[in-house]
Amino acid sequence: MEFVLIALAILVVALVTGVSLLVGRGRRTLRLDDDAAAGTTLTRPPIAPDPTSGATAADLYTGPPAPAAPAEAEPVPVELPPAEPEPGLLFETPLPSAGRLVRLRSRLARSQSSLGRGLLTVLAREKLTEDDWEEVEETLLAADIGVGATTQIVQRLRTQSLVLATASGTQLRDLVVRELTAVLGPDLDRTLHTDRHDGRPAVVLVVGVNGAGKTTTVGKIARVLVGDGKSVVLGAADTFRAAAADQLETWGERVGVLTVRGREGGDPASVAFEAVRTGIEGEVDAVLVDTAGRLHTKSGLMDELGKVKRVVEKHGPVDEVLLVLDATTGQNGVVQARVFTEAVAVTGVVLTKLDGTAKGGIVVSVQRELGIPVKLIGLGEGPDDLAPFEPEAFAEAIVGG
Ligand SMILES: Nc1nc2c(ncn2[C@@H]2O[C@H](COP(=O)(O)OP(=O)(O)OP(=O)(O)O)[C@@H](O)[C@H]2O)c(=O)[nH]1
């Protein structure tokens, strides 16, 4: 009898524990479901841009908002009803990105006149004095190239004094281009990982402080990818500013790309998770996630970013974490950047607003100080003013001629 009572007691304890575990799990699920279901909307542009390039935005329309899968649970499949194109609406078809830097070279006019022309003017003098070399050094430093690279360039030019003395205008120009290219890291791998792989889309997180040009950059990258014939889903994980999601949605709509967004103040990680899930279900090439750049505290922002990345990684590894930096903030930008690199493993830098600064040398110091390649540069506010960074073409553009 005593034995039976003990067995019964054990059974009761086991049952109570099991149920509370289930409820606990249910609550977590409910909380996440609630959060996303309350606000996540899948914004579908009306027509697919290119029905031949994998899944299109219209293919991905899910009708009413799909419940978000909690980070720990199995994803709920997204239903993909047939696309219903609305006649009369056209999407823009951006040009492919190849050769953009050459096309946009005139945007670097400010750097060209201060750095490029500054260097050529001094180096063209008949006999270079110590004062002249100092001027070369000052010109390089004023362009934010940084002390290390400046020293390297000046030393190398000095060893070629004899060549300089007899060089023609063109030879001088070529020499300066060569030396600048050398400090721009011509051998760094700048591949943007935006191709589908292992049966899933590439996932790109875009981070940076507010105002650096994050949202604009996500929109521009989406255009580059669409222009290159790829299918894309956008995730508006900057839930702190409703306007940021609206802005992103507009970028997406223009090229027929779907935007997954959440309600203002919602959980950014949940929106990012949903965006990636939608991209996986829709078999797109790439999912681009815009993140917030503003929070009450710096550590809060970094914790949030870390969380977004961890939650997204439940689907698989993140392929790119792009840090967007405003080139006009100079060395401050580098300091900011370091904080981000400590929070998330940044794989590439996007340097924006290079059209608005004479300090094009910032590319060099950013790369040297962070040890991360600049992969893209922003050269204007126009929708296609974003170019893949190519060291030689950049040096050519800065030197001019
Ligand atoms: N001239 C120039 N302006 C740019 C460039 N990239 C972005 N901008 C402008 O910079 C401003 C800020 O861009 P956003 O994309 O809103 O910046 P954000 O980092 O997303 O800012 P939050 O949404 O506030 O976090 C906008 O006016 C953009 O047009 C660029 O390469 N050149």
Q: Which residues pair with 351 in a beta bridge?
A: 325, 377
Ligand 1 atom closest to residue 216's alpha carbon, by position in its atom list? 15
Q: Is 353 in the pocket of ligand 1 (CB under 6 A)?
A: yes
How confident is the model at residue 99, as a pLDDT? 84
Cα angle for residues 220, 247, 58 (degrees, 5° grid): 75
How would DSSP label each residue in 163-199?
HHHH--HHHHHHHHHHHHHHHT-TTS------S-BTT
ipTM of the complex: 0.96
Q: Would you tell me how many other CB atoms lie within 10 Å of the CB of residue 272?
A: 29
Residue 267: which of 30, 27, 35, 33 has the closest Cα? 35
Helices 298-312, 268-281: inter-axial angle, 10-degree rounding? 30
Above 60 in pLDDT, residue 65? no
Is 127 annotated to bind ligand?
Answer: no
How many residues does the structure list for the chain?
401
* CA-based nearest residue to 210, from 240, 233, 235, 236: 240
CA atoms within 13 A on the CB side of 221: 32
Q: What is the pLDDT of residue 302?
A: 85
pLDDT band of residue 5 (cuts 50, 70, 90) is: low
| pLDDT at residue 64 in the model | 39
User: Quick one: which atom of ligand 1 is closest to the CA of 386?
Assistant: 31
Per-residue pLDDT, averaged over 62-87, amounts to 42
Instruction: Name which residue leads in pLDDT, 81 or 350.
Output: 350
Mark whether 245 and 116 lie in a shared domain: no
**Gap between the Cα atoms of 90 and 93, Å rounded:** 9
The upper half-sphere exposure of residue 355, i.e. CA atoms within 13 Å in the direction of its Cβ, equals 14
Instruction: Decide if 362 contacts 394 (C-beta within 8 A).
Output: no
> 140 labelled as ligand-binding?
no
pLDDT band at 331 (very low <50, low <70, confident <90, very high): confident
Predicted local distance difference test score (pLDDT) of residue 144: 93
pLDDT band at residue 120 under the 50/70/90 scheme = very high
Mean pLDDT, residues 34-46: 48
Check which CATH number belongs to the domain holding 153 and give it.
1.20.120.140
123 and 259, same domain (yes or no):
no
Q: Is the pLDDT of residue 82 over 50?
A: no
What value does the mean pLDDT take over residues 230-244? 91
Measured in Å, residue 212 CA sits from the centre of ligand 1 at: 6
The answer to which of 259-273, 328-342, 349-363 has the lowest mean pLDDT is: 328-342
Domain match, 294 and 373 both: yes
Helix (H) or strand (E) holding 322: strand 320-326
355 in a known ligand binding site: yes
Residue 271 and residue 122 in one domain: no
Mean pLDDT value across the chain: 81
| pLDDT(35) > 60 | no
For the CA of 218, the nearest atom of ligand 1:
15
Please give the residue that has the higher pLDDT: either 389 or 75.
389
Place 309 in a pLDDT band, splitting at 50, 70 and 90: very high
pLDDT at position 83 = 41
Query: Buried b / exposed e across 201-236, counting CB within 10 Å, b at 16+?
Result: bbbbbbbbbbebbbbbbbbbbbbbbbbeebbbbbbb
DSSP 8-state class, residue 105:
G
pLDDT-based confidence at residue 298 (cuts at 50, 70, 90)? low
**Per-residue pLDDT, 63:** 40
Residue linked to tokens 């030019």: 157
Statement: residue 78 has pLDDT above 70: no
Cβ–ligand 1 distance for 108 under 6 Å, the answer no
Query: Hey, CA dihedral for 273, 278, 280, 286, is it positive or negative?
Result: negative
Q: Can you tell me the distance from the alpha carbon of 149 to that of 157, in angstroms, rounded to the nearest whole number?
A: 12
The structure tokens listed for 47 are 């027509």
Mutate to test the pocket of ligand 1, among 107, 381, 384, 385 (most ligand atoms within 8 A of CB): 381
Under the banding of pLDDT at 50, 70 and 90, the label for residue 295 is low
Q: Which residues pair with 348 in a beta bridge?
A: 322
Instruction: Please tell me if the CB atom of residue 293 comes closer than 6 angstroms to any atom of ligand 1.
Output: yes
Judgement on whether residues 169 and 221 belong to the same structural domain of the protein: no
Tell me, yes or no, whether 264 lies in a domain: yes
Tell me if 212 CB under 6 Å of ligand 1: yes
* Same domain for 347 and 209: yes
Residues 175 and 210 in one domain: no
The residue out of 183, 216, 232 marking a domain boundary is 183
The pLDDT assigned to 97 comes to 79
Has residue 74 been placed in a domain?
Answer: no
Per-residue DSSP letters for 370-397? H---EEEEE--SSTT-EEE--HHHHHHH
Verify whether ligand 1 is closer than 6 Å to residue 381 (CB atom): yes
- State residue 7's pLDDT score: 53
Same domain, 142 and 230: no
215 among annotated binding-site residues: yes
What are 185-220's pLDDT values in tens digits? 999 999 999 999 999 999 999 999 888 999 999 999
The pLDDT score that the predictor gives to residue 4 is: 53
- Look at residue 151 and tell me if it is in a domain: yes
* Domain boundary pick from 183, 211, 229: 183
Residue 359 pLDDT greater than 70, yes or no: yes
- Pick the atom of ligand 1 nearest to 377's CA: 31
Of 42 and 51, the structure prediction assigns the larger pLDDT to: 42
- Give the percent of the chain with pLDDT over 70: 77
- Here the tokens at position 379 are 């050269």
Q: State if residue 355 touches ligand 1 by the CB under 6 angstroms criterion.
A: yes
At residue 374, the 3 state secondary structure works out as strand
For 122, the domain range is 106-183
Mean pLDDT confidence for 102-122: 90
Bridge-partner residues for 386, per DSSP?
Answer: 378
Determine the Cα–Cα distance for residues 282 and 232; give it in Å rounded to an integer.
10
Same-domain check for residues 318 and 210:
yes
The position carrying tokens 């009898």 is 1
- Out of 183, 211, 228, pick the residue that ends a domain: 183
Q: What are the structure tokens assigned to 354, written together?
A: 């290079």
The reply to whether ligand 1 has any atom less than 6 angstroms from the CB of 378 is yes
pLDDT of 365-389, one tens digit each? 999 999 999 999 999 999 999 999 9
Q: Looking at the structure, tell me whether residues 135 and 268 fall in a common domain.
A: no
Cβ-contact 119, 399 below 8 angstroms: yes
Do 327 and 354 touch, CB atoms closer than 8 A? yes
Structurally, the chain folds into a number of domains equal to 2
Furthest-apart CA atoms within the chain: distance in Å: 111
Residue 92 lies in a domain: no
Same domain, 305 and 379: yes
Same domain, 276 and 368: yes
CA separation for the pair 175, 27 (Å, rounded):
67
Predicted local distance difference test score (pLDDT) of residue 301? 81
Does residue 122 sit in helix, strand or coil?
helix
